[in-house]
Structures are given as structure tokens and as C-alpha cells.
């Protein structure tokens, strides 16, 4: 056989194997984390671990409830903040803004996406925390150190904007031009067209974009860790400190090997995080793939 | 003016406000970091490693973290490139177009892209325990490579799928094999896009903290071996900010300024490269 053909056959095999291996990473991550978290799961049933509020690693009590609530609170604030901001911006960029403006703003949003989370954290400490401590908390008549759910949520809300906008813009672009033109030719204004045609058609895709943002917020570690206070108690208000799951994992890596089962509990926290994020991502991706196929 | 127009104008106003707000936030972040970090910038910050008592406010700099981050992100980028290039070539040249394998691999990469970096960190840590590795530069490189692999694949996939079909067919028509087409046509045509992808991945690697916290460790010395722990810039910022001394905290802001400048530099270079080299491409 010709050596060139031979080379081609070998590389084809090799590349196929590497592509397959890259998929295998996903399976390996799930299996690896499950394997590491099994000792704790054998100690207590999964549901009890999720709903118990007592976190005393030295007494081998691992209740994840405060951390799950912390994650939910912070993610909730972030998404409530990000949705209007992102929707308005992406509608403006896709429907109203002239081409040159879009070409200017898109790189800026990419830049926002490229800023490391630790920088967002430093910014939160510098700007958001004092703002909440000195201005917002006294105004609502309560006290807060500034390191609280609200500051975590605000910082996260900004961090997830680029991804939501990016996906939303793709979704809007997938809405056929003819639909808009049909609506406009019936005498609808541009805003009416957006409200009743474009947004309706784009709804599943926008939901997917929001879910992707949600999962990004749920797993974000460094920025949240720096501004959220890290008190292992379920927060009761926006101005309470919280302790989300990723912060728990990152904060305790140092001592986790010196306390029995502690590392296993932290890996279980990782595993829970992974399951939630996987679920969100798979659902969102399936929706987005459907939309892409319609194009 | 009728109600429809008023409503439209209100919403249009809101949209413009939110767009401006987003751009303004970017400016505010960079400005806040600069104003706070610049006054504490010293030349010693980037030319010296930490001396004894650095985290108590004594002399020294963060050269260990800057070099550590560059080694780590550089190594991870090279490793990820060697994995990503075959995957992307396979997807675009070898596998059947839009076949079920291609769709499965793309789906997996998309899902991997969404996994948070702390999970990669924990997974990297699990691998290291399995192989008996200590927290080291090598552990960090492997973990960060896994983290940036999907980012790089997606960026390069987008570029390679844009290579005109006719160009490939022309190459096949003169008798080239798929491998020769891949090397001499697709890679050359996609080179600017590849450079962009590599820079994006490098930027992500240099800025990520959560994945290296378990795996790379931290050290005051510049790493001189793959098996030594390595300091990273984001972690250096985090640790300095965590100390109770204002002087050290100010250095954290200066370090944050350095990291921001590195990231901005990479982003802008990415833009220039992709603009400059796309001119030499067959459209």
C-alpha cells in the first residue's frame, strides 16, 4: 500500500480515538467524583445529607442544607439581576442597533467574559461590599458587614451577562427574517413585532440561555467566595452572609485530608454541583440544538 | 403620539440604558482596579519573589506567581492544543458530516464547557491521588488543560467549519489525502483562527483560580521542576487580600492590576491577530 494512504489511515484512527477520549472525560469526571464521595454516602442516605443543617466535620456530621440554600439564594439574586439587563441589551443589539455599534459593543462584552473571576471578586470587595455596608444596609434600616448574599448575587449577575447575551443573540439571529417582515407589513411597530413575534418565537432559546447562565452562576467559585461572607448558616435575607457550595469546597481544601471523611464530603459537594450543572447544561443544549436545526 | 409609540420609546430607552450600563461596568471594573492598584505598584512587585514575611507586609514581589501562572497556562495551552487539534480535524475532515458521532462529540464538548472550574479542580485532585502525585506544576497543567480543552475545541471548530468546502474538494481533486489536506490546507487556512483560540484558552488558563487551588499548590519560589508546587497569580491575589494587613491588601490590588493588564493585553492581541491575518485567507 502507498505510504501516503497508510499515513492517512493511521491519523484517521488516531484522531478518532482522541475525539472519543475527549468525550470520555465527561464520564470519567462523573465516575471519579462519585467514587470519591461514596464513603460519605455509605454513612448516611443522600436525602438526609441534603436536608440536614448540622455541619460538624469533626463529629462526622455533614449536612449540606445551609450550603445548598446559600447557593440557591446567591444564584437567584444573580439571575434576577441578569435577566432584564441581558434581555434588554440583546434585543437592542439584535433588533435596533446599527451594524457598526454592534461590532463595537460585542468585543466589549467578550472582554467582560474574559475577565478572571478573581478580578470580579476584588472589584466586589472594593466597590460592592462598601456600597452595601455604608449605603444600602443603613437605608433599609439594618446592619450588614457588606459580605452578604446581595453582594455575591450582584457580582455573579454581572459575570453571567456575557454568556446569556452571547447565546440570546444567536437565538434572535435564528428567528427568520420573513416573520419580522410579515409582522411589520401588517402595520405593527417594531416593538410590537419584537414583543409578539420575535420574543415568542425565541422563547425556548432564551430560556436555554438563561439556564446556561444559571448553571454558570451555580458553579462560580472565586468571585463568590470573596464577597459572600462564608457563614455556614442558611441565609434568611439578602443582607445575611451565605456559604455556597463552591465556596465550601474551595475554602476547606487545606484541612480536608486531615479529618476522616471530610474529603469525601467535599467531593460529594462537588458531585452535587456537577449533577445540577450537568442537568442544566444538557437541557439547555438540547433546546439550542433543536433551534439550530430549524435554521 | 399614540400609545404604541410611547411604549416603544420607553422600552427602547431602557434597552439603550442597559447596554450602556453593561459597557460602563467593564470600564468601572478596570478603573477601580487601576485606581486602587496603581499607587501600590512597585518595580519590585514584578522583579522579586516574596522575601521572608512577605505576607506580613515585608519586602518582596510576586514574580513567583507571575511566572508560575505563565508556566502553568502555557503548559496547559500546549497540552490542550495537542488534544484539541486532532479532535477538531476529526470533526471537520474525517468523520461523516453531521453524522451521529460528530453530533455526540460536539454535544459532549458543549457540556464539558459548562462544567465549573472547581469541579475540574476536584477531578484533577482525584486523578493526582490516583497516581500518587502531590500538588505540583504538572498537576495544575493537566487540570487546566482539561478545563480549557472544550474552550479551545469550540473556538477552533467554529474556524475549521468555516473553511470553504470547495477548497477541500480542490485539494482532494489533485489527489491529496485527508491528512495532507488537513495539514496543508485546513490548518493553514485556519491559522489565524487557531491563534485566536489558543490565546483565548491561554487567557482563561491564566485567570482561573478554582481549578488550581487543589492541584498546583502554592510556593514562594519560582517553580524549577514539573513536580514542584507552583504559585499562580489569582491565588496570590486571593491570599494577599485575605491577610489582615492593609499594606499587603494594597499589594493584592496591585497584583490584581497586573493580572487585569495581562488579560487585557491578551484580549487586544487576539483581536489584532485575528484582524490582521484574516486578510491572507481565501474567502
- SS3 annotation, B110-164: HHHHHCCHHHHHHHHHHHHHHHCCCCCHHHHHHHHHHHHHHHHHHHHHHHHCCCC
A219 vs B179: CB contact, 8 Å cut-off?
no
Please determine, for residue A210, whether its predicted confidence score (pLDDT) is greater than 90: yes
pLDDT value for B281:
66
- H-helix or E-strand containing B274? helix B246-277
pLDDT of residue B5: 86
Chain A interface disruption, residue of B9, B209, B257, most A CBs within 10 A: B209
Residue B57: band (very low, low, confident or very high) from pLDDT cuts 50, 70, 90 = low
Mutation for testing the A interface, residue in B16, B115, B215 having most A CBs under 10 Å: B115
Q: Which of residues 208-227 of B touch A (CB under 8 A)?
A: 208-210, 213-214
Q: Do B122 and A111 touch (CB under 8 A)?
A: no
> Which chain A residues are within 8 Å of B208, Cβ to Cβ?
116-117
Angstrom distance (rounded) from CA B74 to CA B63: 16
Chain B residues 62-91 within an 8 A CB cutoff of chain A: 83, 86-87, 89-91
pLDDT top residue among A146 and A119: A119
Cβ-nearest to A93 among B19, B110, B203: B19
- Residues of chain B with Cβ-Cβ distance to A109 below 8 Å are 22
C-beta separation of A102 from A93 below 8 A? yes
Rg of the Cα atoms in chain A: 23
Pair A29, B111: CB distance under 8 Å: no
Least confident of A29-33, A167-171, A226-230: A226-230
Cell of A51: 436536608
A168: part of which helix (H) or strand (E)? Answer: helix A149-174
Q: Give me the torsion for CA of A77, A81, A87, A88, rounded to 10°.
A: 170
Residue B219 CA to residue B79 CA, distance in Å, equals: 23
How many interchain CB pairs under 8 A, A with B? 245
Contact A118 B252 (CB under 8 A): no
Confidence category of residue A211, pLDDT binned at 50, 70, 90? very high
Q: How far is CA A31 from the centre of its chain?
A: 22
| Closest chain A residue by Cα to residue B29 | A123
CATH topology of domain B47-280: MetI-like fold (1.10.3720)
pLDDT per residue over A67-122, tens digit each? 999 999 999 999 999 999 999 999 999 999 898 998 889 889 989 998 999 999 99
Residue B271 contacts residue B75 (beta carbons within 8 Å) = no
Cβ neighbours of A16 in B, within 8 Å = 90, 94-95
Q: Are A16 and B149 in contact (CB < 8 Å)?
A: no
The pLDDT, as a whole number, for residue B88 is 92
pLDDT at residue B63, rounded to an integer? 86
pLDDT the model gives residue B1 = 61
Choose among B89, B234, B238: nearest Cβ to A15: B89
Question: In the predicted model, is pLDDT for residue A243 greater than 70?
Answer: yes
Query: How near does any CA of chain B get to the CA of A22, in Å?
Result: 8
Residue with cell 464521595: A37
CA-based nearest distance A219→chain B, Å: 5
**What percent of chain B shows pLDDT beyond 70?**
95
Minimum-distance CB partner of B213 among A16, A36, A250: A250
Chain A touched by B29 (CB under 8 Å): yes
Tell me, rounded to whole angstroms, the distance of Cα B65 from its chain centroid: 16
What residue of B is the nearest CA neighbor of A248?
B118
Please report, for chain B, the start and end positions of each structural domain, with discontinuous segments joined by +.
Answer: 3-40, 47-280
pLDDT of B191 strictly over 90: no
Interface of B with A in 131-170 (CB under 8 A): 146, 149, 153
In the predicted model, what is the mean pLDDT of residues B240-245?
Answer: 85
pLDDT tier for residue A281 given thresholds of 50, 70 and 90: very high
Residues 6+ apart with CB under 8 A from A125: A226, A227, B241
Domain A65-294, CATH among 1.10.3720.10, 1.10.300.10, 3.30.70.940, 1.10.8.50: 1.10.3720.10
Chain B 95-114, residues with CB within 8 Å of chain A CB atoms: 95, 101, 103-105, 107-112, 114
Tell me the average pLDDT across B152-160. Answer: 91
Cβ A222–B153 below 8 Å, yes or no? no
3-class DSSP assignment, residue B42: coil
With a cut of 80, say whether residue B53 has pLDDT above it: no
Q: Are A36 and A263 in contact (CB under 8 A)?
A: yes
Residue B49 has pLDDT above 90, yes or no: no
Nearest Cα to B116, choosing from B80, B143, B82? Answer: B143
User: Which secondary-structure segment (H or E) carries A56?
Assistant: strand A55-56
C-alpha grid cell, residue B221: 519560589
Domain range list for chain A: 3-48, 65-294
Contact A94, A109 (CB under 8 A): no
Smallest Cα distance from B59 to chain A, Å: 22
Count Cβ atoms below 10 Å from residue A90 Cβ, excluding itself.
Answer: 27
Q: What is the ipTM of this complex?
A: 0.91
Q: What is the pLDDT of residue B228?
A: 84
Least confident of A43-57, A187-201, B94-108, B111-125: A43-57
Instruction: Report pLDDT digits (tens) over A124-141.
Output: 999 999 998 888 888 887
Q: Is the pLDDT of residue B47 over 80?
A: no
Mean model confidence pLDDT for chain B: 87
| Residue labelled with grid coordinates 514575611 | B53
- Among B92, B51, B210, residue whose Cα is nearest residue A225: B210
Nearby residues of A147 by Cβ (< 8 Å), 6 or more positions away: A129, A227, A228, A229, A230, A241
**How confident is the model at residue B280, as a pLDDT?**
60
How high does pLDDT run on average in chain A? 89
For residue B151, the model assigns a pLDDT of: 93
pLDDT of residue B152: 94
Amino acid at each position: 500500500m502507498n505510504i501516503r494512504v497508510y499515513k492517512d489511515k493511521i491519523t484517521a484512527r488516531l484522531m478518532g480515538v482522541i475525539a472519543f477520549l475527549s468525550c470520555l472525560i465527561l464520564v470519567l469526571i462523573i465516575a471519579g467524583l462519585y467514587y470519591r464521595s461514596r464513603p460519605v454516602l455509605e454513612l448516611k442516605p443522600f436525602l438526609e445529607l441534603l436536608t440536614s443543617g448540622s455541619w460538624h466535620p469533626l463529629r462526622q456530621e455533614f449536612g449540606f442544607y445551609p450550603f445548598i440554600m446559600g447557593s440557591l439564594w446567591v444564584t437567584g439574586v444573580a439571575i434576577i439581576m441578569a435577566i432584564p439587563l441581558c434581555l434588554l441589551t440583546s434585543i437592542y443589539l439584535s433588533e435596533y442597533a446599527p451594524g457598526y455599534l454592534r461590532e463595537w459593543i460585542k468585543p466589549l462584552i467578550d472582554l467582560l467574559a474574559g475577565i478572571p473571576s478573581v478580578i470580579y471578586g476584588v472589584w466586589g470587595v472594593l466597590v460592592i461590599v462598601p456600597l452595601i455596608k455604608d449605603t444600602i444596609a443603613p437605608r433599609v434600616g439594618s446592619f450588614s458587614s457588606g459580605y452578604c448574599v446581595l453582594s455575591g448575587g450582584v457580582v455573579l449577575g454581572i459575570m453571567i451577562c456575557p454568556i446569556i447575551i452571547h447565546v440570546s443573540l444567536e437565538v434572535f439571529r435564528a428567528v427568520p427574517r420573513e416573520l419580522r417582515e410579515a409582522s411589520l407589513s401588517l402595520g405593527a411597530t417594531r416593538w410590537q413585532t419584537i414583543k409578539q413575534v420575535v420574543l415568542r418565537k425565541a422563547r425556548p432559546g432564551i430560556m436555554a440561555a438563561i439556564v446556561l447562565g444559571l448553571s454558570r452562576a451555580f458553579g462560580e467559585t472565586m468571585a463568590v467566595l470573596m464577597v459572600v461572607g462564608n457563614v455556614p448558616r442558611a441565609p434568611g435575607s439578602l443582607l445575611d452572609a451565605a456559604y455556597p457550595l463552591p465556596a465550601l469546597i474551595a475554602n476547606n481544601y487545606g484541612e480536608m485530608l486531615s479529618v476522616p471523611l471530610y474529603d469525601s464530603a467535599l467531593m460529594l459537594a462537588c458531585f452535587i454541583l456537577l449533577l445540577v450543572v450537568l442537568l442544566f447544561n444538557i437541557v439547555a443544549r438540547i433546546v439550542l440544538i433543536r433551534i439550530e436545526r430549524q435554521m | 403620539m399614540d400609545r404604541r409609540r410611547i411604549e416603544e420609546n420607553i422600552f427602547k430607552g431602557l434597552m439603550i440604558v442597559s447596554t450602556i450600563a453593561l459597557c460602563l461596568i467593564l470600564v468601572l471594573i478596570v478603573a477601580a482596579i487601576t485606581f486602587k492598584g496603581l499607587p501600590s505598584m512597585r518595580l519590585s512587585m514584578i522583579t522579586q519573589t516574596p522575601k521572608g514575611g512577605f505576607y506580613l507586609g515585608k519586602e518582596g514581589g510576586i514574580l513567583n506567581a507571575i511566572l508560575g501562572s505563565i508556566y502553568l497556562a502555557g503548559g496547559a495551552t500546549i497540552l490542550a492544543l495537542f488534544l484539541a487539534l486532532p479532535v477538531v480535524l476529526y470533526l471537520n475532515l474525517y468523520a461523516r458530516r453531521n453524522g451521529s458521532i460528530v453530533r455526540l462529540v460536539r454535544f459532549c464538548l458543549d457540556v464539558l464547557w459548562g462544567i465549573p472550574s472547581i469541579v475540574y479542580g476536584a477531578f484533577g485532585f482525584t486523578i493526582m491521588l490516583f497516581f500518587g502525585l502531590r500538588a505540583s506544576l504538572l498537576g495544575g497543567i493537566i487540570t487546566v488543560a482539561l478545563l480549557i480543552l472544550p474552550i479551545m475545541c469550540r473556538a477552533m471548530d467554529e474556524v475549521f467549519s468555516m473553511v470553504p468546502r470547495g477548497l477541500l474538494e480542490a485539494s482532494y481533486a489533485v489527489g491529496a489525502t485527508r491528512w495532507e489536506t488537513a495539514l496543508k490546507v485546513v490548518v493553514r487556512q485556519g491559522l489565524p483562527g487557531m491563534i485566536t483560540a489558543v490565546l483565548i484558552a491561554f487567557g482563561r488558563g491564566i485567570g482561573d483560580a478554582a481549578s488550581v487551588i487543589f492541584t498546583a499548590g502554592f510556593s514562594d519560589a519560582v517553580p524549577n521542576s514539573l513536580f514542584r508546587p507552583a504559585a499562580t497569580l489569582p491565588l496570590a491575589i486571593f491570599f494577599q487580600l485575605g491577610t489582615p494587613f492593609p499594606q499587603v491588601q494594597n499589594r493584592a490590588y496591585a497584583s490584581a492590576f497586573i493580572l487585569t493588564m495581562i488579560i487585557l493585553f491578551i484580549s487586544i492581541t487576539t483581536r489584532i491577530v485575528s484582524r490582521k491575518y484574516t486578510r491572507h485567507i481565501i474567502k
